[in-house]
Amino acid sequence: METLLNVAIFLPLVGALLVAVIRNEIFAKVASILIGAVVALISLVLFVNFDFSKKGFQFETYVPWIKTLGIGYHVGVDGMAISLILMTSILFLAAYIWSWKIEDRPSLYFALFLALETACIGVFAALDLFLFYLFWEGMLIPMYFIIGFWGHDRKVYAANKFFLYTFFGSLFLLLGIASILVYGYFETGKISFDYFFHLGLDYPLWLELIAFLLFGIGFAVKIPMWPFHTWLPDAHVEAPTAGSVILAGVLLKMGTYGFVRFSLPFFPEASKYYIPLIFTLSVVAVIYAAMMAIAQTHMKRLIAYSSISHMGLVTLGTFAMNSDALNGAIYLMIAHGLSSAALFLGAGFIYDRIHSYHMDDLGGLARYIPYFTFAFFLAVLAGIAFPGFASFVSEFLILLGIFEKFPVWAFVAGIGMVLGAAYSLYMFRKVMLEEESIPEERVEKWKKLKDLELHHAIPFALIIGMALVMGIYPYPFVKIVEHTSKLVFGG
Amino acid sequence: MNWNAILPEAILAIGILTVFILELFLERKHYKFLSVLAFIFVVLSGYSIFFVNYPAKLFFDGFSVDALNLIGKLFILAVTGFVLLSSYDYFSKKNSQYGELPYLYLIATLGLMVMISSDNLAIIFTGLELASITMYILVGLFRREYLSKEGAFKYLVIGTTGTSMYALGSALVYASSGSMVLSPVKEENTLFALGVILIISALALKVSAVPFHFWTPDAYEGAPTPTTAYLSTVPKIGMYFLFVKLTMYLFSAFPDWKYVVMLLAVLSMFYGNIVAYAQKSVKRLLAYSSIAHAGYFLTALTAVDKHLFSALLFYVFVYALATVGAFTVLAILEKKEGWTHHFLDFKGLKEENPVLASMLALFLFALIGIPPAAVFLGKLGIFFGLVKTDMFALGILFAIASLISAGYYLKVIVYMFLYSGEVRHGQTTVSAGEAFTVLGTAFLVIFFGLFPHVVLDFILRALS
């Protein structure tokens, strides 16, 4: 089992090298899909074999690496990590299949995505701060080129903005890591990057307060929390469809993952101390981003703002200091990864067919592409936390948890959810239904539109299928997520 | 006397003489052979370091060998070797192959090696001058080009000011402490303080820290590109080894030295990084980036701490590797007809030379500090040391400055990869030496990023 986890991390990287060297279009596509499928299968096997009744991390591998600096190759997963890895691998598989028809430099495209997959899975599995940072930064360059090469009109601007914002966060994260390392060094006389070494240390309050902020800036940029969010709409609008899927589905979760994995257990006192700050920023994100979403006419921009809004809900749940809310937050990371990915797939499909994201150019599509309409409708339902989908379970848990101690905040967050339903349904109506406003010549054009093809249908089925399974039969997922909140709160 | 201690220097000196004499008799077409011969002597000299018995002192304690300066010599020789191999084809393509070139590089290297292996301020001065004077000549080697002459002249005038400041500073130190030999002393009088400040300024000038940086952009831009690669790396390594030694034994005796260094560091980081944005030429941009890096390095000299120093020396070395790689790519590109290093020339480079463009991108990403390139570890190490020595604020400034720097490095990458070019410059040839340098430095930059303990452990052990 331990080996399988390592294979899941490094198989995509090996694949990336192969694809980049062989430079054959068909090979690149087939190999990527195969590797994606193998990795998804491995994560499923790991997920099924994960014993959530046992405390602590599982499938651990530890190999000493740089001894003088106390750096080791240390990977392992808990409930949160394994479920995020499962989601990641499924989203990547969906992204590979979706990109079946890509024509522009396919070898490079798939090589970058494969490299990105290694970095993403690595982030979720790393139990060594050095290794974590390595993977954390490792996703920067592939994503930069994915946006920069295959993006739309303002791709250079968006790619640079993405890079600089994220790099800004990473530098503070690095400073944070340095500061807790120094404390560890003064306390025990040795430098160690190991997760458990730092978990065992009791930091003084002043250090917690500083280090929490330093880590927090790093994570907040990635999530993104208001006011660090402005890179996200640009990056999403300009990124190619598969890039948006990974960006919204996986990269954003790294920030909230970091909060749960590092900030909460390392700095418990500081986490309590900063609750007002985090709550304010989160609620502003929830409401403000939802209002911004309502004002958009660009589909991708709307979905991007809805992501910010949902991530605000995740941070709310994370810092409610309540195991229900934390369970819900982790659950929402996965649920939102799936639902936003499905929505971006929908937007991407429409762009492929009609070459526009603007709602003014769309309308009344339901009559001409019924299968797609069905899939997109399911995606919208998943996005607005309709019962039966994963996000329903998670948002319910979050609100339940927050309500216990912070009823007012829970009420405000609830408003955000109502707004979420409003803008999502508004988008669906505008794009798919509203037939009155479309001119004649468009109808002629849209009669010739092709409906979903196989390489569109499979990703939709994978993602929405998983969201449905998690919504209808949440028991194993909630159990596995609870494994983490028990670790964090020590219950 | 223990002659074994000067084995590396002796071999290098023999190499210099051999190349010098051969150059008198050989014809022009054999000059490539001279570079290779010089490279062989560099390798031999580097190899001989492993046979030196240390610690040792000779020449009436004027020349001392310990683990730290042996590591310094190894670094200096390694980077010199890369530069030598990358240089010959560039000069022959530019139709200005001078036979002096290989031994001039060797002489400068010899000067630096002498400089770092002495504890005597006077002998340090000798080594410094030997290296500096040689480098003035190296910069002005394109004697028919205005830019090269201008750069050399500026470098000469300002560089000489620097060495005279050093001379005056050591005289003052001698006047107040009665000794030219470095030893852990505690002196608190104005004369000593003035001497220390003068020496710090002189070294700051040599590492091109603001406000002593004025020679840097012109000298870097005017010099032949392989020489720029040499100039921006090898002397820097030597200087920082010297700086570390002087900080330990001289500067720290004057407690306020850290504020002087701090000021230099902060000014250099921000000035270098901000002015770099205004540059139109990539070569000049890298010159400003080296000013900014001088600032980063100086932050590590604000306290006497083995972790800071080891991080610094590691950082300087991997920075040197990445910089030599980047300049070598520029040198290869410069062999194209009409290439000026202007940003517009780089537009769409990935279509013409995908491999060269990717290599340059790799070096630039390394300089930004993205892991797994080793420069990132240098940054982490300095952060660690700064937090450890209670200079957290400086760490934050460092982080902000390196964020600013990411923008202009990215600009080059954007021009190469994300824009498509209008001007075609045609293909360029890559000689075996250049290929070796580019691939070798790229490999080492990544390798030391993943396995830093290969060198870091030795530095740490030498320092403690």
Residue of B nearest to A157 (CA): B414
Most B CBs within 10 Å: which of A13, A69, A129, as the mutation test of the B interface? A69
The Cα A71–Cα A27 span in angstroms is 37
Q: Averaged over B5-34, what is the pLDDT?
A: 88
Task: For residue B310, give the nearest of B297, B322, B323 by alpha carbon.
Answer: B297
A406 found inside a domain: yes
pLDDT given for residue A362 in this prediction:
82
Residue B381 CB contacts under 8 Å (≥ 6 apart), including other chains? B307, B308, B310, B311, B312, B314, B315
Share of chain B above pLDDT 90, in %: 45
B368 touches chain A (CB under 8 A): yes
Q: Averaged over A332-339, what is the pLDDT?
A: 92
For the whole prediction, is pTM greater than 0.90?
yes
Share of chain B above pLDDT 70, in %: 98
pLDDT at B18 over 90: yes
Flag the least confident range among A6-15, A444-453, B44-53, B79-88. A444-453
The Cα B37–Cα B73 span in angstroms is 19
pLDDT given for residue B1 in this prediction:
64
A230 found inside a domain: no
Its sign, for the CA torsion A103, A105, A111, A115, is negative
**Subunit contact B456:A156, Cβ cutoff 8 A:** no
| B357 min Cα distance to partner chain A (Å) | 14
| A88 min Cα distance to partner chain B (Å) | 22
| A179 min Cα distance to partner chain B (Å) | 6
Q: Which of B388, B453, B456 sits opposite A182 (nearest CB)?
A: B388
pLDDT at A233 over 80: yes
Domain boundaries, chain B: 265-463
**Subunit contact B371:A133, Cβ cutoff 8 A:** yes
Q: pLDDT digits over B226-266, tens only?
A: 999 999 999 999 999 999 999 988 888 888 888 999 999 99
**Subunit contact A164:B418, Cβ cutoff 8 A:** no
Rounded to 10 degrees, what is the CA torsion of A75, A81, A84, A85? 30
pLDDT given for residue A314 in this prediction:
92
**Subunit contact B402:A171, Cβ cutoff 8 A:** yes
In this prediction, residue B187 has a pLDDT band, given cuts at 50, 70 and 90, of low
Share of chain A above pLDDT 70, in %: 100
pLDDT given for residue A132 in this prediction:
93
**Subunit contact B384:A178, Cβ cutoff 8 A:** yes
Q: Averaged over A175-199, what is the pLDDT?
A: 88
Identify residue A368 by its one-letter amino acid code: Y
pLDDT at B82 over 70: yes
pLDDT given for residue A199 in this prediction:
86
CB B210 within 8 A of CB B271: yes
Strands A58-66 and A71-77: antiparallel
Residue A304 CB contacts under 8 Å (≥ 6 apart), including other chains? A232, A233, A235, A236, A237, A248
Q: Averaged over B106-121, what is the pLDDT?
A: 92
pLDDT given for residue B75 in this prediction:
95
> Is the interface score ipTM higher than 0.90?
no
| B278 min Cα distance to partner chain A (Å) | 18
| A111 min Cα distance to partner chain B (Å) | 14
pLDDT given for residue A491 in this prediction:
55
Domain residues for the domain of A284 are 274-490
The Cα B333–Cα B427 span in angstroms is 9
A288 found inside a domain: yes
B348 touches chain A (CB under 8 A): no
Identify residue B63 by its one-letter amino acid code: F
pLDDT given for residue B347 in this prediction:
86
Size of interface A-B (CB pairs under 8 A): 81
Which residues in chain B touch residue A239, judged by CB atoms under 8 angstroms apart? none
Which residues in chain A touch residue B365, judged by CB atoms under 8 angstroms apart? 141
**Subunit contact A160:B395, Cβ cutoff 8 A:** no
Average pLDDT, chain A: 89
CB A415 within 8 A of CB A329: no
A295 found inside a domain: yes
pLDDT given for residue A32 in this prediction:
92
Strands A71-77 and B56-58: unpaired
Q: Which position has the higher pLDDT, B93 or B279?
A: B279
A24 found inside a domain: no
Q: Domain total for chain A?
A: 1
A474 found inside a domain: yes
Q: Averaged over B298-308, what is the pLDDT?
A: 89
Q: Averaged over B111-133, what is the pLDDT?
A: 92
Identify residue A256 by its one-letter amino acid code: T
**Subunit contact A167:B403, Cβ cutoff 8 A:** yes
Which residues in chain B touch residue A122, judged by CB atoms under 8 angstroms apart? none
Which residues in chain B touch residue A159, judged by CB atoms under 8 angstroms apart? 414, 418
| A197 min Cα distance to partner chain B (Å) | 17
Q: pLDDT digits over A44-83, tens only?
A: 999 999 888 888 888 999 999 888 888 899 999 988 999 9
Q: pLDDT digits over B148-170, tens only?
A: 888 888 899 999 999 999 999 99
Q: Averaged over B310-323, what is the pLDDT?
A: 94
| B427 min Cα distance to partner chain A (Å) | 22
Identify residue B8 by its one-letter amino acid code: P
Residue A449 CB contacts under 8 Å (≥ 6 apart), including other chains? A353, A354, A365, A368, A369
The Cα B128–Cα B122 span in angstroms is 10
pLDDT at A366 over 90: no
Q: pLDDT digits over B372-401, tens only?
A: 888 988 988 998 899 888 888 898 899 899
pLDDT given for residue B435 in this prediction:
92
pLDDT given for residue B186 in this prediction:
67
User: What string of H, E and C letters represents the secondary structure of chain A?
Assistant: CHHHHHHHHHHHHHHHHHHHHHCCHHHHHHHHHHHHHHHHHHHHHHHHHCCCCCCCCEEEEEEEEEHHHCEEEEEEECHHHHHHHHHHHHHHHHHHHHHHHCCCCHHHHHHHHHHHHHHHHHHHHECEHHHHHHHHHHCHHHHHHHHHHHCCCCHHHHHHHHHHHHHHHHHHHHHHHHHHHHHHHHHHCCCCCEHHHHHHCCCCHHHHHHHHHHHHHHHHHHCCCCCCCCHHHHHHHHCCHHHHHHHHHHHHHHHHHHHHHHHHHHCHHHHHHCHHHHHHHHHHHHHHHHHHHHCCCEHHHHHHHHHHHHHHHHHHHHCCCCHHHHHHHHHHHHHHHHHHHHHHHHHHHHHHHHCCCEHHHCCCHHHCCHHHHHHHHHHHHHHCCCCCCHHHHHHHHHHHHHHHHCHHHHHHHHHHHHHHHHHHHHHHHHHHHCCCCCCHHHHHHHHCCCCCCHHHHHHHHHHHHHHHHHHHCCHHHHHHHHHHHHHHHCC
Average pLDDT, chain B: 89
pLDDT at A201 over 90: no
B351 touches chain A (CB under 8 A): no
Q: What angle do CA A410, A315, A159 make, to 5 degrees?
A: 135
pLDDT given for residue B348 in this prediction:
83
Q: Averaged over B341-370, what is the pLDDT?
A: 88
pLDDT at A158 over 70: yes
**Subunit contact B453:A66, Cβ cutoff 8 A:** yes
Q: Which of A175, A177, A182 sits opposite B396 (nearest CB)?
A: A175
Q: Averaged over A384-401, what is the pLDDT?
A: 89
pLDDT given for residue B71 in this prediction:
93
pLDDT given for residue B54 in this prediction:
80
